[in-house]
Copies of this chain bind each other. A is one copy, B any other.
Amino acid sequence: MKLTILGSSSALPTSGRYPSAHVLNAHERLFLIDCGEGTQMQLRKTRTRFAKINHIFISHLHGDHVFGLYGLLSTFSLMGRTNTIHLYAPENYDKMLKSHLSDFDINLSFEIDFIPLSGKDPVKILDDKYLTVTSFPLQHRIPSYGFLFREKRSERNIKKECIEKYQIPQVRLPAIKKGEDFVTPDGVIIKNEDLTLPPHEPLSYAYCSDTKYFKRLASFVKGVSLLYHEATFDKSKEDLAEITGHSTTLDAAKTAIDAKAGALIIGHFSARYKEIEPLIEEAQTIFPETYAAIDGHSYEVGNLSHL
Contacts and interface: CB of A to CB of B under 8 A. Distances in A.
A78 interface: yes
Contacts of A13: 40-41, 44, 71, 75
B14 A63 contact: no
A215 to B, nearest CB: 27
Contacts of A44: 13-15
A59 to B, nearest CB: 14
Contact of A38 (B12, B38, B62, B100): B38
Count of identical protomers in the assembly: 2
A19 B41 CA distance: 10
Contacts of A63: 70-71, 74, 104, 106
B41 A15 contact: yes
Contacts of A19: 71
B66 A11 contact: no
B11 A62 contact: no
Contacts of A11: 74-75, 78
Contacts of A14: 44
A28 interface: no
B61 A103 contact: yes
Contacts of A147: none
A67 interface: yes
A207 interface: no
B70 A67 contact: yes
Interface in A1-50: 11-15, 18-19, 37-38, 40-41, 44-45
Contact of A105 (B70, B79, B142): B142
A297 to B, nearest CB: 16
Contact of A37 (B71, B96, B99, B103): B71
Nearest to A7: B41
Interface in A66-117: 66-68, 70-71, 74-75, 78-79, 96, 99-100, 103-106
B37 A18 contact: no
Given A13-B40, A14-B44, 18 more contacts: A11-B75, A12-B79, A13-B41, A13-B75, A15-B41, A15-B45, A18-B41, A37-B37, A37-B41, A37-B70, A37-B71, A62-B104, A63-B71, A63-B74, A67-B67, A96-B100, A99-B103, A100-B100
